[in-house]
Amino acid sequence: MTKLSVNINKIATLRNSRGGNTPNVVTFAKDVQRFGAQGVTIHPRPDERHIRYQDARDLKPEVYTEYNIEGNPVKSFLDLVLAVKPTQVTLVPDAEDAITSNAGWDTIKHKDFLTEVITEFKQNNIRTSIFVDPNLKDIEGAKATGTDRIELYTEAFAHQYGLGNKNAIKPYTECAILANQLNLGINAGHDLSLDNIQFFKENIPDLLEVSIGHALVAESLYLGVENVIQMYLHKLK
């Protein structure tokens, strides 16, 4: 079964919009695990506009499943991850002003930088993953960095699938086949939802983990958090 990691950034966004500590991100993380999610994901940014660096520290003792911290490996992020020591760190090439992640790494151009960062994390027993576009050259480049996994950036698939274009899955399937041949673990995320997750999972061989936040939280407003998590788990079997 593919694991479901729930990205809780949107809960922090809601909290920050009002001030105070409601909704509580730690409580929400505990609840999604209790409801069956196999991981919790956060993506702190330098301006802390949603998840704060202190949230990452506060969550550490409460995440008993897999703890995944995503972000651009600037110094403050590196220091945070090395202090918290999550299960997994996912490297994402975000610009500081990006509303959300919008591109994967050019793993060939940034090979030396990624290799240096990944080496340090692995020396601290932190599993590493690189956020990549569905390009075969970037999968090969990821292998050369020493990363444990890749995370396929799925926005293009989700958009095209929503238009009825199921052929949009093809480059992702090809990349997954290559990643498996290279002994790279496969994660995926961005704009995956209850509408497209089952089709995506069925066409990605050995998909280990998906990270879902925005859609899951939005769907939960209508259907309830526990119910939505059970629906995802059913589709990921």
**What's 56's domain CATH number?**
3.20.20.70
Catalytic member of 43, 66, 209, 219 = 43
Catalytic residue status for 96: no
Rounded-to-integer distance, Cα 55 and Cα 51, Å = 6
90, 70 contact by CB (below 8 A): yes
Which parts of the chain have pLDDT scores under 70? 95-102
Residue 169 DSSP one-character state: G
Total domains in the chain come to: 1
Closest to 155 in 3D by CA, of 107, 113, 71, 92: 92
AA identity, residue 123: Q
Catalytic member of 50, 66, 70, 209 = 70
| Domain that includes residue 37, residue range | 3-235
30, 6 contact by CB (below 8 A): no
Is this structure's pTM higher than 0.85? Answer: yes
Catalytic member of 50, 66, 151, 190 = 190
Q: Residue 103: what pLDDT?
A: 82
**Ramachandran class of 18: left when φ > 0, alpha when ψ lies in -120 to 50, beta otherwise:** alpha
Catalytic residue status for 70: yes
Catalytic residue status for 190: yes
175, 200 contact by CB (below 8 A): no
Q: pLDDT of 120-163, one tens digit each? A: 999 999 999 999 999 999 999 999 999 999 999 999 999 999 99
